[in-house]
Amino acid sequence: MSLHKHDGFRNLGFVGLDNYKDVMASPSFWSAHKNTYLIVGISLLLGLPLSMMLSLFMDAQTPRFRRFFKTAAMFPAILSVTVVAQIWLAFYEPNWGLFNSILQSLGLSSWTHSWLTEKKTVMPSIGVTFLWQYIGLNAMLFYTGIKTIPKSYYEAALIDGANFVQVCLRITIPLLQNVIKYVLILSTLGSMAFYSHVRVMTAGGPGDTSRTVIYQMYYTAFDTSEFGKGTAIAVIFILECLLISFVIQRYVAREKLEF
């Protein structure tokens, strides 16, 4: 279909690579890529370190507190995107929302924003919502990996006088490389497929400033009835995901660990 002019109902003829040329010449296409990789960056550079720290924190707790934090960490991930988006829409509301109200109460009224209607703040705001929902899920994956590491390693480190930070850097994180690789792939591809939060919170606005690649594909195919161009975006997106997966598989955690 990406090689044809198609309106969703009728094939209007073979056009070769024209759909790909038109898509890649569109500023909206590259803006959507910029937004998508911003979400990927937030997820990887902020989300994964925070998830790792949360998992280490949970592992250091007593069983009673550990159960509480495990439940709290998983709770956002089991909520539907619509529920999460509506909660954060209330937080971001410019007149009575939580964030602006806190800033005003602290005398920082100049820091308040219309978070979801300003170009500079809309994507970071949606990214924080996405991060909040899934940071606990990644933490639980890391925590599960931590529990598979033999306790004898930690006992030997304790005898040698290693502190908590040294144990984390020299034992826990190196031995979690397979889990880190899995979470890295899951987070990267999940972030690239970012759509639902944008759909509910901004519908791609203001204008087209918060569209991601998946949203741009949906908009092109269903809102403008240019299915040929929409499927061209889909093919490009699939190739990007395959390339990223290959790079991670090829260069991350290449050595097989055996405990």
The percentage of residues in the chain with a pLDDT greater than 70, rounded to a whole number, is: 98
Neighbours of 113 (CB within 10 A): 16
- Integer Cα distance of 136 and 134 in angstroms: 5
For residues 186-211, average pLDDT: 92
Q: What is the mean pLDDT of the chain?
A: 91
Q: Work out the percent of the chain whose per-residue pLDDT is above 90.
A: 69
As to burial, measured by CB atoms within 10 angstroms (0-12 exposed, 13-18 middle, 19+ buried), residue 217 is: buried
Question: In Å, what is the CA distance from 239 to each residue of 2, 40, 43, 233?
Answer: 14, 16, 21, 10
DSSP assignments along 169-223, one per residue: IIIIHHHTHHHHHHHHHHHHHHHHT--HHHHHHTTT-STTTT--HHHHHHIIIII
CA separation for the pair 106, 145 (Å, rounded)? 41
The domains found in the chain, sorted by start residue, are 4-10+30-251 (1.10.3720.10)
**Count of C-beta atoms within a 10 Å radius of residue 59:** 16
pLDDT at residue 209, rounded to an integer: 92
Query: What residues pair up with 11 in beta bridges, in sequence order?
Result: 6
Banded pLDDT at 9 (limits 50, 70, 90):
confident
Interatomic CA distance for residues 158 and 155, integer angstroms: 5
Could you tell me which residue, 258 or 19, shows the higher pLDDT? 19
What does the pLDDT read at residue 250? Answer: 86
The rounded distance, in Å, linking the Cα atoms of 174 and 170 is 6
Give the tokens for residue 120.
Answer: 């500079």
Please give the Cα distance from 159 to 138 (Å, whole number).
31
Over residues 134-160, mean pLDDT: 91
